[in-house]
Structure 1
Amino acid sequence: MNKESWVHREDFFNAEEQAILAPYVTNLDQPVFALQQLPEEVIAVLFAYYSRSRDSLRRNLLSLITAGDLDLLATTGTPASSAPPELSHAQAKARQFHEKWVVGYGHASVAEHAVAHLAVEDVSIVASKVIEDMRLASYTEKSTRYVAFDTKQYYPLPELQDTDAAAVYHDTMQALFQTYNALLPDLIEAVKRDWPRGAKQTERGHHTACRAKALDILRYLLPAGTLTNLGITINGRALEHLLTKMLSHPLGEVQQLGKRLKTEARKIIPTLLKYAEPNPYITETETAMQNLAETLLEPVDEGQDEPAVRLVQAPDNAEATLVAAILYSHSQQSWSQVISHVHHFSPAQRQEVIDAYLSRRGPHDQPLRALEHLTYTFEIWVDYGAYRDIQRHRMATQTRQMPAPRHGYSLPDDVVRYGLQETFDACMQRAADAYEQIGQAHPHVAPYVLPLAYRCRVLITWNLRELHHFVQLRSAKQGHASYRRIAQDIYWAIHAHHPLLARYIRVDLEDYGLGRL
């Protein structure tokens, strides 16, 4: 088949047309191409035309340009704030289209084709967790393993201004950071003595690995109000949902961040965020649920010895369900017919199906999607620092409580090993006292002062396929000891309940002194 036979019947462009289109598409004669150097809202419009026009995207783009609607030739790369009239006209036309189809006709999916890349700096860890709770986005956050934090890197909490709690908060935060920074140099040297450089390891590589281990230990001292940086890539539809949630949030920092994000994102995709506003349903329901929880749930004594991982709900007939789900797409029978057959399978036959489905995986292959039909719910009792990493697995439903002194704190073995327990305990007690003082009048912001060592509870419902991914990744040698144990405990919980289904979960059950070599 020759090259031209692939081209849409209307897409034979002459030399002049090719010159016009070339800056905006990666090829002019193939059925697969990428768009480039176009405003995000214009890209969304062009994709939206697929559902309304018989013409190809390149033909529609050419028509818009030659009609004078998108005169972009001299404006590519021009910042929106200084765009010439031609580009402003193009963006205006895009907005008119969105007003008609997105707002007027409810075609919100069009907004998913417009993408914003947003940088958020000097945001607290508390607020970053609210942002990262949005499932349909990509994030990169400042690492506590590779970056040391100085004494000025914490959120100031304007809510406490001109109150007695303000001094308590700032003094406690300063003390935590000063302790963190004072301990770091000696701890790095102590780790180096315990873990001498290997014959094939460079001096720089050895120092980096030992420094990372020291920072992993000391991160337990960093308060939840520590400032972090965050990169976000998100489509317009998801961003509108995120902004609505942030603008309706009880924390002042999150509300202010929502306003700033909306202001900056509207410079890229203005129409798609037009209706991102505070939502009374979210705000009022949050208050109502908090009041009901305080009224209806009687206080109980906190069990400090409760397990870190508890499997609270598992699927019934899990093996049969998985086998039927695997076979379903390879048959022409109804679900009831397939599951009926499977119920009569012998244990050996069920294992044969599961083995055939999972045994061929290579080292980097994820299981196929039939495993998503099984879901498990775990209650995890974990330090807030480890939760930061666990939360990244957003192919799940997560419901989290904020950390509180009543849940206690994690004390890693290395804190004892390096003679730091007395210092750590003193820091934790000081933070707990500050939490109680701040919480008397400002309970919502009290968690900002608690170090990442303090525990919180989180309820997570995962499908079995995502559990394979989580356990394999988070139990790996290079992982932080805290979440490695969580991943290992999750594996053992599934193994105890459904050993056949746990058979192909890849897990590292070893302990390592120095994960980053």
Structure 2
Amino acid sequence: MDDKDVQAAETDVYAIHGAEPEVLAYAMAKYSRSALTLKESLAEISTQRAEQFLNTFYFQYGHRSIADLAHIPFAIERLSLLAAISLVDEQRWDGQERSTRYQDFRRSGWYTPDFGTSEDTRETYTSAIKAMFESYNSVGALMLTALKGAIERPETMKHEAYERTLKARAFDVARYLLPLATNTSLGQIVNARTLETQVSRLLTSEFAEIRTIGEKLRIAAAEPAWNVQHAAGAQMADEVADMDEELGGRVGEFMLKPVRTAPTLVKYATPSNYLHQSCFELEQAARELMDGQTIYPAPTVDLLEDNEPLEVELVTSLLYSHCHFSYRQLRGTVAALTEAQRLEIVGLGMKHRGRHDELLRAFSSGRGLRFDFLMDIGGFRDMHRHRRCTQLLQGFTDLHGYEDPVCPGQPTLAAAGLAEEYSVAMDSAFTAFRAVRDSGVPEAAQSAQYCLPLGTRCRSMFKMDFAEALYISELRSGVAGHFSYRRVAWEMYQAVARRHPTLASYFRVEDVYQPVDLLRR
């Protein structure tokens, strides 16, 4: 090709379909080492060559970004809400989960941990879960009746839309009673690097269910994937074989070829020694540091000061996920330590790190806006989707109590005649939590958390920039949203407005304390 031809060449843009994820990743990686087009690379690459390349450059040389090019869809079905929260806790994750607003979870079933030979503990657990589902059903039905009594259907609104909208509002209340044991399903599309770190993290979990899911994910990436076109391909191969047996066999071989999505990139995913050892030692450090302190009351949203020394933030963040104290209270104790003591704790988060281990998430420090949230688990699950910020999560506990579902303009629990039933159900769930926790069975502290309903308060730290704070405040304060996270989004806006009043006018938020049209979606 002469200079004139080169200058005349136009940009070529095309979509790609049908390439196996690892083959496509190898082909794209070749851009850095070959002048071939992607079409030419894909035409010459075999699955075996891709595996050889990835074994060399991904594992031996640590070129981890190659795995970002292989995207793989998975379905994970019949896992608990507790496990789902852990599974989606990745900063590079895309997926969807069953909605507690639009689906009735009465038929979902629930997860039961292995209680060994302790039939009494199993009975306590099962009775508690059944009672919560009964209350979920009762509260949902009676709240729907109360909503219909309070809100007339507009003549312009179809009955089906009216019923569907109010049912969603009723589920918004009833979901507070769903236990973390409740089964759900989700789909995810992640790149192979995220999948590898996800599998490793899940395999390191203290929950048996989550470890099992991690192993099943690893196996699913290595085994032949489910082929949505299998039935149609088999029929086509049979039809061709009726005319030409040899050609039919070739068609069947091509159409029904088993595809393993990431057998090379995920085959070495194992429990993370770095994560396991660091978490163990940081939990011990947090326990020793805060020994004897009671948990101070805290607001729903606490915007921390932005003039904090980085070393103090690092240490506080490292310990935050391993206790139940607010960030502010924990920071006060950390700030009183000597520099040497703080550096010793930083060292706990570093000393077990392997050659290719990513730093613990707590090291993502230095963001300008840091919010400490204390909110119900159900609302947290919605906020959890905002992955542009750094999130530090604490374990689930009964120590922070539970929320009452309150929405301006919507019948209260008392008005619907549900206040006593709701409080009895929540208190009973907490009693069961403590009974299982203290039962002495293996992993008792973990198994007990499945008893906690979504109305239980949990604590989490979100670190972000201004753009993300504005985005979350605007999106989550909208009238169509759940009143739990609407309140949190409003408090975020209020906190930023107090800190930076000249920027407040740029937030397009809606006052969550104003009554809303509950038929507006």
Q: State yes or no: 1:479 paired with 2:445.
A: no
Query: What is the match of residue 24 of structure 1?
Result: none
1:477/1:515 contact within 8 Å kept: no
String of CA shifts for 1:213-252, please: whole Å, max 9, x gaps.
Answer: 1100100010111111111010011111111111111111
Provide Cα deviations, 1:380-426, integer angstroms capped at 9, x if missing partner. Answer: 11011100001111111111222322211101232223121100111
Q: 1:7-60 CA deviation, whole Å, 9 max, x = no partner?
A: 997xxxxxxxxxxxxxxxxxxx86111111111111011101101112222233
- Over the matched positions of the two proteins, sequence identity in percent amounts to 31
Matching residue's letter, 2:398: P
Provide the residue aligned with 2:472 in structure 1: 470
Indicate the SS of the match to 1:205. Answer: helix
**Correspondence 1:45-124 to 2 at 5 A:** 45-62=26-43, 64=44, 90-124=46-80
Supply the distance in 2 between the matched residues of 1:242 and 1:148 (Cα, whole angstroms). Answer: 29
1:499 aligns with 2:501: yes
> Of 503, 514, 517, which residue of structure 1 is paired with 2:518?
514
Shift in Å at residue 162 of structure 1?
3.3
Instruction: Give the whole-Å Cα distance in 1 for the aligned partners of 2:500 and 2:85.
Output: 32
Paired position in structure 1 for 2:233: none
Per the alignment, do residues 299 and 210 of structure 1 end up closer, same or farther by CA in structure 2, a change over 3 Å counting?
farther
| Counterpart selection for 2:385 from 392, 406, 410 | 392
Note the C-alpha offset of 1:149. 1.1
Is 1:184–2:140 an aligned residue pair? yes
Distance 1:307 1:513 in 2: 28
Q: What pairs up with 1:315-394 in 2 under 5 angstroms? A: 375-394=368-387
Q: Which ranges of structure 1 fall in alignment gaps of 5 or more residues?
A: 10-28, 65-69, 71-89, 317-372
> Within the alignment, does 1:223 sit opposite 2:179 as a pair?
yes
2:301 pairs, out of 298, 303, 309, with: 309
Report what 1:197 is aligned to.
153
How many angstroms apart in 2 are the aligned matches of 1:390 and 1:187? 25
Letter of the 1:276 counterpart: A
Distance (whole Å) between structure 2 residues aligned to residue 6 and residue 228 of structure 1: 55
Aligned to 1:249: 205
C-alpha displacement of 1:106:
1.9
Superposed CA RMSD in Å reads: 2.2
| CA distance in 2: counterparts of 1:160 and 1:478, whole angstroms | 45
Q: What is the alpha-carbon distance in structure 2 between the residues aligned to residue 186 and residue 463 of structure 1?
A: 42
Q: Which amino acid aligns with 1:52?
A: R
Partner of 1:404: 397
* Counterpart residue identity of residue 135, structure 1: Q
SS of equivalent residue, structure 2 residue 399: helix
TM-score scaled by structure 1? 0.76
1:277 and 2:266 correspond: no
Q: Does structure 2 conserve the Cα–Cα contact (< 8 Å) formed by 1:315 and 1:376? A: no
Query: Would you say the 8 A contact 1:188–1:214 is kept in 2?
Result: yes
Change (3 A) 1:388 1:299: farther
CA contact under 8 A between 1:438 and 1:446: conserved in structure 2? yes
For 1:494 and 1:502, the matched residues in 2 are separated by 7
> Following TM superposition, by how much is the alpha carbon of 1:480 offset from its aligned partner in structure 2, in angstroms?
0.4
Q: Which runs of 5+ in 2 are unaligned?
A: 223-259, 309-365, 407-411
Q: SS at 2:373's partner residue?
A: strand
Aligned residue for 2:315? none
Q: 1:379, CA displacement in angstroms?
A: 1.0
Q: How far is the alpha carbon of 1:502 from its aligned partner?
A: 2.3
Give the superposition deviation at 1:144. Answer: 0.4
Note if contact 1:491-1:505 (Cα within 8 Å) is conserved in structure 2: yes
Q: Is the 8 A contact 2:473 2:492 kept in 1?
A: yes
The answer as to 2:244 corresponding to 1:263 is no
| 3-state DSSP of counterpart to 2:30 | helix
1:212–1:516 CA contact under 8 A, matched in 2:
no
AA aligned opposite 1:204: E
**Residues 396, 449 of structure 2: 8 Å contact kept:** yes
